[in-house]
Structure 1
Amino acid sequence: MEASPQYTLTERGPLRAALKTARPQEWVKNVLVFAGVIFSGQLDDTWAIGQALITFACFCAISSAGYFINDLNDVELDRQHPKKRFRPIAAGQLPISAAWVISAVLAVGAIAV
């Protein structure tokens, strides 16, 4: 019996594919949630900073869920596109069923908080 492959984030495994699909490079715009804490002078208020961190995490999760859903809905078109065909779902690096589960977990998790 053959052992299943062990992947790390530096390899082309499903974990890396999921992270790439989440598009963390887009999360930088979610830093704007900290503007309220900064401009209200609450930088010394740990509760306010904690709330901003939770909000930041929720924004990142819900936006990533949207990226997953977009890639799932456009998978056939993306497979025909010269650049988008290399996206993990279109390229088959991340199974469609796994992508649906991840998008649901991200969306429900963000909304539940």
Structure 2
Amino acid sequence: TLITEWEDGSKLCKALLESEESIARAVQKLTEVAQFYGFEGWLINIENDLRTGEPEAMNSFLSQLSISMKGSNPNGMVLWYDAVTVDGKLLWQNELNDKNL
């Protein structure tokens, strides 16, 4: 599980999502950790608001991580916990709808 919460979580998301290079580094490291420890994937649980532009960057991160995990393991997966809306707000939907990121 990769979880971010509160102000420290916002800071971590800012660092993670600041550029395509930072996203690529995170994807590479998370894939390497999964390979080393022999697990099949990641649960991504973002429990803080995202800043302007970060929801789109988060989608890029999730997509790249999914591709990387599948490339390293045919059973590789990424699960997304639906805590953040497309507007970047921490607001649990508890359902699939047009506000899910």
TM-score by length of 1: 0.28
Between Structure 1 and Structure 2, which shows a larger proportion of helix residues? 1
Higher relative strand content:
2
TM-score by length of 2: 0.30
